[in-house]
Structure 1
Amino acid sequence: MVEQRKISAAMVSEERSFVLKVDEYSRVKAQLKIGESLTSTPFTVGGHKWTVRYYPNAVWAFNADSISLYLCLESAGAEDVKAKFTLSVLDKNGEPVPSYSHTNPMRTFSKSSVWGSELAIKRADLERSAYLRDDCLTIRCDLTVAKEIKSQETRVAPSDLHQHLGDLLKNKDAADLVFQVGGKRFSAHRCVLAARSSVFKAELLGAMKESSAALPIEIHDMEAHVFESLLHFIYTDSVPELEMASNKGETGVVMAGHLLVAADRYNIIRLKQICEEKLCNHIDSNMVATSLALAEQHGFHRLKEACLQFLASPSNFDAMVASDGYEHLKSSCPSVLKELIARMIPSEFKSAKDVIMAI
C-alpha cells in the first residue's frame, strides 16, 4: 500500500507600504455622507490586490464626529489570506504620528472582507493639529501578507526494510554464523545480531569472535522453534506466532512465555515488552501459576503484579491451586506464594502477615 505524505508547508511574508493622500480634505468631508468612502487606487502585496478606504464621516452614526480607515482585500476569489497592517496619519516629515496610528494583529481576509483600523480620530482634534496641512491629509498603510508555500503531495511506498532483512535470513545470503539449537542449525549474520542485541554484540564482536567463525555456536536451554522465532523478530521486528488471531489461546501464551525468557536472555527490549504484554492480557487459572513463576524467576515486575491481582480473587486462587502449574510454582518460588497469601489477609491482621513472610 502506497503512503501519501506531504512535506510541512513553509510560511513566508511580503511587506509593502502604500500612501493615500486626501487632497481637499474639507470638500471631501462635505461631499461624502456617513458610510460613504474615498477608495485608494489598488496596490499589490503578497500576490493580492488591496485598497484603503477613507470614511471622512465614519461608517456609523454613533461616531460620525470621527474619521475611519479600512483595509480591503479586492482580489477576486481570494480566500483565507492572512495579513497584518498598520494605518497611520503622517506628519510633515512623512513619519507616523503615534497617537494617530494603530497596528492590527494577523487577521484572515477573504474577498470583500474589510478590517477597520480600530482607531478613532476625532475630526476636531485632527483639524486643530499640525498634521492637516494645506487642507491635505496623508495616510500610510504598512501591510504584511503571509504566504504559505505548499509542496506537492508525494506518494512514498511504506518501508520494506523488514522484508529485505527477512529475505536475507531466509536465503542465508552472506551468512557468517551458524547456531546449533536442539539438533537444528540456523544460519545468521553477525552484524545484524550485534546491531539488535547488546548480548549478541558482546559475544559475537568480543571474545567469542574468532571461535564463532569456525564452529557452530551451541545454544542450550532453548527449543529450536523458539530460537527460530527469536531470529525472525531480530530480522523483521515482528512475531507472527503471537500476532495471528489463532494464537490468542494457550498455544500463543506458551510461546509468549518462551520468547519472553529468550528476549530477556539476549536483552531484546521491544520483544520483552510484546511478550509481557501478551501474557498480562491472557491470564487465566490454567496459566497463571506458570506465568507467576516465570515473572518471579526473571524479574518481570509488571507480569508478576498482573498475576497477583488476578489471584486476589479467592475463586481464581482456588482454581490456580488445582492447576498443573501449581506444584511447580510451590517448589520453585515459595516466596511468591507467601507474598500472595499475605496480600489476601486483611490489613488489620498485620502481625499475621509478618509471621507468614517470616516463615
Structure 2
Amino acid sequence: MANSSSCSSSANEILPDTSSTCLTQSITTTHDFMVTNFSLLKGMGVGKFVSSSTFTADGCDWNINLYPDGEKTGDHVSVFLRLLRGSEDTRAKFSLSLLFGNDDDQGSRKKGKQKKNGKGIKVTRECHEHTFGFESSPNWGWVKFVKKSQLRELLLGSNDCFTIRCVLTVLTVRIQDASTIVVPPSDLHQDFAKMLTDADGADVTINVGDRFFLAHRYVLAARCRVFKAQLFGVMKESNTECLRIEDMEPSVFERLLHFIYTDSLSENYEGDKCVAMLHLLIAADRYGLQRLSLICEEKLRNWIDVQSAATILGLADQHHRVQLKKACLGFIAWPDVLGAVMETESFEDLIASNPMIMKEILKKIASAKHD
C-alpha cells in the first residue's frame, strides 16, 4: 500500500501597504533676565554664576546662568542656557542677547553682531541647534560671550543695567501612523476675528470717542454680562442699535472688542505699552471680563523692570490693583534696585504726584531686610 501526503498554503498572499510620517514641531518662548548694578557682581570669582528665574517651554524647565567673572577665564563674561527639568535628549535652538537701555528691537540674529540704533546696543549669540541631556550636556552657551572691557563701555549709558534675552525654540519629533486621523486645532477664534473684521451681519454700532465699531449683539451678550444687560436686560437702552461708551479711548475699546470675539489679547499698542495695558485692565474690570483682567495684570507684572517699575507702581496704586502694586514694591525692594529706579524720569514723576508712595517703598525695603 502506498502512502502519500501534500502541503498546501495560500499562494500569492499580499499584505496591505503601510506608511508613517515623521512630524517635527517647534514651540518658541522668550525670557528676559534683567541684571541691575552689574558692577557689584564683579569679584564673585571664576566659575561662580547668578541664575534667572525658571521658565518653561514644551514641558521643560530652563534658566539662564550668568558668570560675571567668566566660567573658565576672567577676561570674559560667560552666559549659558541650562535645562533644569525635561526629557533626556531635548533638542532646541536658541539665541542669547544683551539688551541695553530701551532697545526692544529684535534686530539681526547673526552671530556676534552688535547693533547701535540710538535706543541701545545689543550683542547677540545664536545656537542653531543643540541636544540637551542631564548626564551629557545639561547646559550650552558661550564661555567668551562678551569681553569685560567691552561690557564696561556698553554699561556707561545704561545705569549699570542690562537684560539678557533668551529666545528659545524647543524641537520635538514624533512618528505618526498613516492610519491616524489628524484632528487640526480649533480655528473658531479665527472665524470670529474675521466676523468682527468683515462686520457681516453686524446689527449694533458702538460709538467710542470719534470712532464707530460694528458688532454683533448676540456675541456681545454671550461674552459680556454688561453688554447683555445693556442690550437685553435691565440696563437696556432705548436705542440698542447704537451704543455710546464714555470715558474710554477708542484704541482701548478696540482691544477689548478683539478679546470678546477671539478670547485672545491683541499685541498692538499705541504709545507706552504699560499705560495701554493698564487702561485695558481697567476696561476689563468695567465690563466684567475677569480673564482679560488677569491676563493684563500678569502681562504688567512680567514687564516690571528698572525703566517701567515706577510707572506701573503709580498706575497700580491709583487704580487699587493690590497684587500688581505688591509685585512692584517687591521688585524695587531688591538690593541695589532702588537706586537704579530712582534715576528714571518716571520715578521723579511718581514722587511728584504721589509723595506718600516713598513711605511704602521704604517700608517694603525695611521688611525685606528683616526677612
TM-score (norm. length: structure 1)? 0.47
TM-score (norm 2): 0.46
Q: Which has the higher helix share?
A: 1
